[in-house]
Amino acid sequence: MLKRATIILFTAILICLALTACSGQSVDLYFTVESEGSFYLQAQTRQVKSSPNIYQASLEQLIAGPGQSNLLPTIPASTKVNHVKVDNGLAIADFSAHILTDTSIPHSSTTEKLAIYSIVNTLTQFEGIEKVRITVENKSSGTIDGRSIEDFWGHIGLYDDFSKNEEIILKNEN
């Protein structure tokens, strides 16, 4: 009886590991870091729970915020990821209106650039994603609660699809 239970347990562990449902996937999430008076993005590697949509799960972890005290969040914590769809190299990431209306992260040209590229750089690490389009409540233009969607936080805007931005990432000098 004990031998049979051991075989069943061993088989369950092997199946779990084979499906990678136990550990998830290692993903880089990009958060704000300050260095010598300037602000950059810095990758923080996390295990993201296996999900049918690893892209959405990764953005949800990004919104949850950094796990290190030297890193700062880029997206308001009240924001929800409605969905992420990928088609022909383009990821369309749709967010709740909170991404526009919640000002817990001050809206400036610097924070806007960091917010946009934290999303873009997180998604473009995945094979098959070359560009990212950000939408709000399934819209790429118009207004929500008096805020222009395409203006985003009022500086860079969401007028185009975005590609990975390596220049905004703080490089380690190690």
pLDDT of residue 17: 40
Tokens representing 14 are 């092997």
Residue with more model confidence, 18 or 128: 128
Q: What is the pLDDT of residues 62-103, one digit of tens each?
A: 999 998 889 999 999 999 999 999 999 999 999 999 999 999
* Average pLDDT estimate for 119-127: 98
Taking all residues of the chain, what is their mean pLDDT, rounded to a whole number? 89
147-148 and 143-144 beta bridge pairing: antiparallel
In the chain, which ranges are E strands? 25-35, 38-48, 81-87, 90-95, 131-136, 143-144, 147-148, 162-163
Q: Is 118 helix (H, G, I), strand (E, B) or coil?
A: helix
State pLDDT tens for residues 18-50.
444 456 899 999 999 999 999 999 999 999 988
Higher pLDDT, 2 or 122: 122
Of 144, 146, 127, the C-alpha closest to 136 is: 144
pTM: 0.85
What count of residues does the chain have? 174
